């Protein structure tokens, strides 16, 4: 019998027991839907995280003091390490040392609060270069302006604030030109940043940027920096620039053995890779759960196919008496099993992508505007193929049982 007619007979067989067929494929449906959702949502999350972390751009390199942290507890080393100072900035600025360096900004993080007419808020006080930050984070003041080299030279008492800081202290009144107290020191607000949210590890909205000289002299009283942010001329040369930066820093610190480094260099690429690794591990976990669901679903398909073979003993006998060969019979049941499992896979793909689209709609509208929807074409193709293969594998035994029936035993069956 031609395959076309075998498929037609097989679909006929499935249609007779619609609800039973539907229940049978539930396991496969859940497995495939889980895979689709995981890949789709995982892809969206990865896009979001990578987008945020990459918000600084691949051409940005960060140098931090201390040893590279291996776990969350190690971060305290970074905050209190005092190894990066002005001489490092000067060394890195020399063209001969790091030819790819375009610009460098030392940054100081100061704990503290900010107050205005009785309102107090605890922003992230960052000593740096407002023009540099505006360019690096792609966030330019909507009111006023960003300070630059002049204000830094003068240790000026000026501050640029993020949107949340503005809202907490000034509500609806104008902030630019007003005087605020930053850790008891009077400073003038000269710029307000637009709402931006999270960029890399910083929440721009709760930022208060002062010149790093001002921060060191009047706020922290320390002569070291918490990090150096470096822009290079071409993101393609990140690796080369990192090598140059490390060499320059070691010379500046008199270090010969890289194991003794009292600083470490972070590139955006490295962070992106870390996130991908974590998401990859999650993918493996959910995939193995989905695989178990598929095996359980496959056993369900096999079970129902055996029931179907038993129920249709008479039909098998009749078909054999009309000239069906053993191969015809086994093929009919095999195709029925594949169709059953594959339709489960197909429904799983539809449900999984619909559900992840709904999650995307909710998340992107209410929580994370940067979330993107990804329809996982690869996972859909894979899911459909896998469910068909499950149908094939778990259909072999019932199909053989069907073909083995002697026509006369089958015809006598009531």
Shortest approach of another protein to residue 365 CB, angstroms?
A: 48
**How far from 82 is each of 37, 88, 261, 263, 325, CA to CA, in Å?**
46, 12, 13, 10, 84
How many angstroms separate the CA atoms of 153 and 382, rounded?
61
Shortest approach of another protein to residue 414 CB, angstroms?
A: 9
Site string for another protein, 381-410 (x = CB under 8 A): -------------------------xxx--
Shortest approach of another protein to residue 14 CB, angstroms?
A: 12
Q: Is residue 313 close enough to count as binding another protein by CB under 8 A?
A: no
Q: Which of 64, 164, 212, 320 is close enough to bind another protein by CB under 8 A?
A: 320
Shortest approach of another protein to residue 312 CB, angstroms?
A: 10
Q: Which of 319, 346, 371, 394 is close enough to bind another protein by CB under 8 A?
A: 319
Shortest approach of another protein to residue 20 CB, angstroms?
A: 15
Q: Is residue 99 close enough to count as binding another protein by CB under 8 A?
A: no
Shortest approach of another protein to residue 15 CB, angstroms?
A: 8
> Nearest Cα to 281, choosing from 46, 30, 50?
46
Residue range at the interface with another protein (CB under 8 A); choices 67-75, 301-309, 313-321, 362-370: 313-321
Here the tokens at position 402 are 């069907």
Please, what is the Cα angle at 316 between 311 and 321, to 5 degrees? 145
Closer to another protein by CB, 135 or 411: give it. Answer: 411
Q: Is residue 18 close enough to count as binding another protein by CB under 8 A?
A: no
CB atoms within 10 A of CB 188: 14
Contacting another protein within 63-82 (CB under 8 A): none
Closer to another protein by CB, 236 or 412: give it. Answer: 412
Give 349-352 contacts, CB < 8 A, sequence gap 24+. Answer: 349/32, 349/33, 349/36, 349/380, 349/383, 349/384, 351/29, 351/33, 352/32, 352/33, 352/34, 352/35, 352/36, 352/37, 352/40, 352/383
Pairing of strands 119-121, 198-199: unpaired
Q: Is residue 212 close enough to count as binding another protein by CB under 8 A?
A: no
**How many residues can be counted in the chain?**
414
Q: Which of 318, 359, 389, 393 is close enough to bind another protein by CB under 8 A?
A: 318
Q: Is residue 148 close enough to count as binding another protein by CB under 8 A?
A: no
Shortest approach of another protein to residue 404 CB, angstroms?
A: 11
Q: Which of 154, 174, 274, 325 is close enough to bind another protein by CB under 8 A?
A: 325
Here the tokens at position 25 are 């494929």
Q: What are the b/e assignments for 245-283, b being 16+ CB within 10 Å?
A: bbebbbebbebeeeeebbbbbbbbbebbeebeeebeeeb
Cβ neighbors of 203 (< 8 A, separation 6 or more) are 124, 162, 164, 197
Place of tokens 């330019």: 140
Q: How many residues bind another protein (CB under 8 A)?
A: 22
Q: Which of 2, 18, 95, 186 is close enough to bind another protein by CB under 8 A?
A: 2
Q: Name the 3-class secondary structure at 222.
A: coil
Place of tokens 């199909």: 399
Shortest approach of another protein to residue 288 CB, angstroms?
A: 41
Q: Is residue 1 close enough to count as binding another protein by CB under 8 A?
A: yes
> Nearest Cα to 209, choosing from 256, 166, 269, 265?
166
Shortest approach of another protein to residue 412 CB, angstroms?
A: 9
Answer whether 352's CB lies under 8 Å from 36's CB. yes
Site string for another protein, 266-305 (x = CB under 8 A): ----------------------------------------
Site string for another protein, 347-386 (x = CB under 8 A): ----------------------------------------
Shortest approach of another protein to residue 340 CB, angstroms?
A: 17
Residues at the interface with another protein (CB under 8 A)? 1-2, 5, 12, 16, 314-315, 318-328, 406-408, 411
């Amino acid at each position: 019998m031609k395959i076309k007619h075998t498929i037609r007979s097989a679909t006929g067989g499935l249609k007779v027991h619609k609800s039973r067929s539907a229940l049978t494929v539930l396991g496969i449906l859940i497995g495939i839907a889980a895979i689709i959702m995981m890949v789709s949502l995982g892809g969206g999350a990865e896009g979001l995280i990578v987008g945020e972390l990459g918000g600084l751009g691949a051409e940005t390199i960060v140098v931090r003091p201390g040893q590279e942290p291996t776990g969350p507890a190690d971060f305290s080393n970074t905050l209190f390490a005092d190894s990066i100072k002005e001489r490092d900035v000067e060394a890195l600025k020399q063209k001969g040392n790091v030819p790819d360096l375009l610009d460098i900004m030392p940054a100081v993080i100061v704990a503290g609060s900010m107050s205005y007419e009785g309102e107090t808020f605890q922003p992230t006080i960052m000593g740096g270069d407002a023009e540099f930050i505006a360019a690096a984070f792609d966030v330019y003041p909507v009111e006023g302006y960003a300070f630059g080299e002049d204000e830094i030279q003068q240790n000026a008492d000026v501050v640029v604030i993020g949107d949340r800081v503005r809202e907490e202290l000034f509500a609806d009144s104008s902030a630019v030109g007003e005087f605020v107290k930053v850790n008891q020191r009077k400073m003038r607000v000269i710029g307000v940043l637009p709402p931006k949210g999270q960029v890399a590890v910083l929440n721009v909205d709760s930022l208060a940027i002062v010149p790093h000289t001002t921060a060191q002299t009047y706020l922290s009283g320390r002569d070291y920096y918490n990090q150096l942010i470096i822009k290079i001329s071409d993101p393609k040369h990140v690796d080369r620039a990192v090598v140059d930066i490390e060499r320059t820093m070691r010379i500046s610190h008199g270090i010969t053995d890289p194991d003794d480094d009292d600083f470490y260099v972070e590139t955006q690429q490295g962070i992106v890779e870390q996130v991908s690794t974590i998401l990859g591990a999650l993918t493996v976990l959910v995939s193995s759960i989905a695989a178990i669901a598929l095996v359980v679903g496959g056993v369900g398909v096999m079970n129902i196919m055996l029931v179907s073979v038993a129920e249709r003993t008479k039909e098998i006998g009749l078909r054999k008496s009309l000239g069906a060969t053993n191969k015809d019979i086994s093929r009919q049941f095999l195709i029925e099993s594949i169709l059953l499992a594959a339709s489960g896979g197909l429904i799983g793909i539809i449900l999984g992508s619909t559900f992840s689209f709904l999650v995307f709609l909710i998340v992107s509208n209410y929580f994370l505007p940067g979330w993107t929807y990804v329809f996982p074409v690869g996972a859909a193709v894979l899911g459909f193929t896998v469910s068909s293969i499950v149908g094939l594998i778990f259909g072999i035994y019932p199909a053989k049982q069907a073909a083995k029936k002697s026509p006369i035993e089958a015809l006598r069956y009531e």
